[in-house]
Amino acid sequence: MPKERVRNEHGHKPWYVGWANCHPDIRSKIRQYYSIPEFLPDDAEFPETENIFFGYEIGAVMHLDYIPRLMWQGQLKGSKNWSIAPVPECEHVCHKFEYYVEPGDVVLLDTRVWYHATSIPKGQFSVTLQSEYA
């Protein structure tokens, strides 16, 4: 990717990427920038993998996650808009909603049963860390 696009310079398309990290050295470096949310149970189990999402202006399209555990996601830099929708069989009880997160905010959402999409406000760079727990 050209450096100009990396920096989201005028005339270049926005971008958004995510990847799973399971390397212990990288994980310990990343953990210098956040801590496990205090509201999670003391006996919670965490996987060895964490996911990092970052980019400019766009985010993830509406989807469900196929993961084995509940998910939490912490906003480290920038902000992000979330759009949440119930699965079709629950639409008569639950309704779509949206929320906005800023650095330091943590999302706790069962993304296996709630459809969700994210977007990043124009011109902003967003960094988010996601992990699972049981």
Domains for the chain: give ranges and CATH numbers.
3-133 (2.60.120.650)
The pLDDT, as a whole number, for residue 67 is 87
Cα–Cα dist 24/48, whole Å: 8
The pLDDT, as a whole number, for residue 103 is 95
Cα–Cα dist 39/132, whole Å: 14
Q: Are 19 and 52 in contact (CB under 8 A)?
A: yes
Each residue's pLDDT tens digit, 45-87: 777 788 899 999 999 999 999 988 888 899 999 999 999 999 9
Each residue's pLDDT tens digit, 76-111: 999 999 999 999 999 999 999 999 999 999 999 999
